[in-house]
Amino acid sequence: MTSDMHALAAAYSLDALDAAESAEFEQHLAACDTCSLDVREMRETAAVLALTSLEEPPAALRDAVLARVRLTSQGSPDSDAAAVVDLAERRTRRGPATRWLTGVAAAAVLVAGGLGVTTYQASQRADQAQLASDQITALLADPEATVERADVTGGGAGTLVASPSRSQAAFLAASLPVTGPDETYQLWAIDDQGATSVGLLQPDSGQAIALVDLPPGTTTFGMSVEPAGGSPAPTTDPVLLVELSA
Amino acid sequence: MGLRARLDLLMPQVAKGEDDAFAQLYDAVAPAVFGLARRVLRQAEQAEEVAQEVLLEVWQQASSFDAARGSALAWIMTMTHRRSVDRVRSVQAASYRELRVGSRSQDRPHDQVSEAVEQHMEAEAVRDCVDELTAIQRESVTMAYFDGYTYPEVAARLKTPLGTIKTRMRDGLIRLRDCLGVTA
Ligand SMILES: [Zn+2]
């Protein structure tokens, strides 16, 4: 039987054994130096074989993975992983002629991911940062979530990962141009009646991650450059528009 | 510098939690991870999910990676292959398998995989070594590795006895190993 087992090292290295045979071989492997060496060498060989099948993954995957890496520590949850700006106070303002903020119940939190920006120290804020970080992680891991990517006018790109219900989204921005000292990026949920602010974005080194709540009926997500502190309604042309898929 | 050496250099920094190093590692290895997952799973969405899982696991498990037990490339590609194959063999994936079998004729020809490959010197060397194999060695190895078939499935498809496939798989890999100069 032992020599039969040795003969399975190649098939095992290629994951070509069924579950039962694989388990049987692993028992043998634990005690067989010959097969241990064979499997190591064969796995190295198979890995090199993969170089004949390179394919560039979609850019959105890079954004999603690197965003999660910034939010995910390698061990326990990392308190430095996120800094939060609570925008609740901004959300009480109302703009003329639009439904700016009305009907938006849940608080939006804005997260600058893994950037060492510590805007608030209070533990309540830290909890909120952790919550936002967890929610973003869950959203990015949700196979039902939709991912849309768009270039930002003036440079950079944004990726919107929307929950299946379209009630929440993570917005990941990369390589954004630095805004002037009197300017800020502002995020908008847009429906047939106009634009509702869902937060300000303060990128650090051009990168930012925001968790936003989308009001029911939102069809499009947008971003514009606004005067510092934000505007009740967009005052400039959007630098990014992402249509939510139905 | 080859991909294997490059990844081995980056891993210690990644293990220290340096996300810049991870971004470099991502750029270096993601095409191999996504490309292999795509070959096995056929569907881009499935391949993206596997690639995301694997690359995040590389980040999270970086400190437990042991260079004495093999290269980072082998570690990452073993993970990628295992997860892809698990998916393709799971009950839910039964329909994918049918789809895969049905769409085999649409496969990209072996000699024009992608532009990225053409630029890749290493890939050329690997392909030269693959070409050195006998037809049955090559089929045994690539059907298991790129299509995710078990060796009995390969035997059935090639209408060849089980024992022969087992042996050819082994001979093929050993010949590749020697041709590529791979050491553990
Ligand atoms: Zn053995």
Find tokens 């799973």 and name the residue.
B41
Consecutive 10-residue averages of pLDDT for chain A (246 residues):
82 95 95 95 95 91 90 52 30 30 27 31 48 72 78 84 84 82 87 84 74 86 87 85 82
Say yes or no: B10 and B96 in one domain: yes
- Whether the CB-CB separation of A189 and A195 falls below 8 Å is answered with yes
CA atoms within 13 A on the CB side of B80: 33
Find tokens 């991502």 and name the residue.
B26
Chain B 90-129, residues with CB within 8 Å of chain A CB atoms: 113-114, 116-117, 120, 122-123, 126-127
Say yes or no: B93 and B123 in one domain: no
Say yes or no: B122 and B90 in one domain: no
Say yes or no: B42 and B127 in one domain: no
Say yes or no: B117 and B34 in one domain: no
Q: How many domains does chain B have?
A: 2
The predicted structure's pLDDT at residue B105: 36
The predicted structure's pLDDT at residue A198: 87
Say yes or no: B11 and B37 in one domain: yes
pTM greater than the 0.95 cutoff: no
CA distance A226 to chain B (A): 31
Which chain B residues are Cβ-neighbours of A8 within 8 angstroms?
166
Express each pLDDT in A98-151 by its tens digit: 222 222 222 233 333 333 222 333 344 455 566 666 777 777 777 778 878 888
Say yes or no: B57 and B128 in one domain: no
Say yes or no: B82 and B138 in one domain: no
Query: Which own/partner contact pairs does A32-35 have at CB distance under 8 Å and 24+ positions apart?
Result: A32/A2, A32/A5, A32/A6, A34/A6, A35/A5, A35/A6, A35/A9
Amino acid at B115: E
Across the interface, of B120, B150, B182, the residue whose CB is closest to A16 is: B150
Does the beta-carbon distance from A44 to B148 stay under 8 Å? Answer: no
What does the pLDDT average to over B65-71? 92
Say yes or no: B101 and B139 in one domain: no
Does the beta-carbon distance from B17 to A15 stay under 8 Å? Answer: no
Distance A6 CA to ligand 1 centre (A): 4
The predicted structure's pLDDT at residue A190: 87
CA distance A47 to chain B (A): 5
The predicted structure's pLDDT at residue B32: 95
More confident residue, A111 or B137: B137
- Whether the CB-CB separation of B40 and B146 falls below 8 Å is answered with yes
Position B151 pLDDT exceeds 80: yes
The predicted structure's pLDDT at residue B118: 39
Is B87 an 8 Å CB contact of chain A? no
Closest CA to B167 of A39, A40, A4: A4
Walk me through the domains of chain A, giving residue ranges and CATH numbers.
2-53 (1.10.10), 87-243 (no CATH)
Q: For testing the chain A interface, which of B29, B55, B127 should be mutated: the one with the most A CBs within 10 Å?
A: B55
Across the interface, of A52, A58, A65, the residue whose CB is closest to B117 is: A52
Which chain B residues are Cβ-neighbours of A56 within 8 angstroms?
30-31, 34, 114, 116
Domain boundary among B76, B105, B134: B105
Say yes or no: B68 and B151 in one domain: no
Q: How far is CA A230 from CA A131, A182, A185, A200, in A?
A: 24, 10, 8, 7
Would you give the distance in Å from CA B177 to the centre of its chain?
15
Distance CA B29, CA B6 (A): 10
Express each pLDDT in B87-122 by its tens digit: 988 744 455 454 444 444 334 433 333 334 434 567
Say yes or no: B97 and B123 in one domain: no
Classify the C-alpha dihedral A26-A27-A28-A32 as positive or negative: positive
The predicted structure's pLDDT at residue B62: 94
Q: What percent of chain A lies above the pLDDT cut of 70?
A: 73
More confident residue, B143 or B92: B143
Does the beta-carbon distance from B144 to A68 stay under 8 Å? Answer: no
Does the beta-carbon distance from B35 to A15 stay under 8 Å? Answer: no
Classify the C-alpha dihedral B60-B54-A41-B12 as positive or negative: negative
Express each pLDDT in B38-55 by its tens digit: 999 988 999 999 999 999
Domain boundary among B105, B136, B159: B105
CA distance B7 to chain A (A): 13
What does the pLDDT average to over B3-23? 92
Domain span including residue B54: 3-105
Say yes or no: B153 and B83 in one domain: no
The predicted structure's pLDDT at residue A146: 81
Tell me the CATH number at B14. Answer: 1.10.1740.10
Is B21 an 8 Å CB contact of chain A? no
Domain boundary among B105, B133, B155: B105
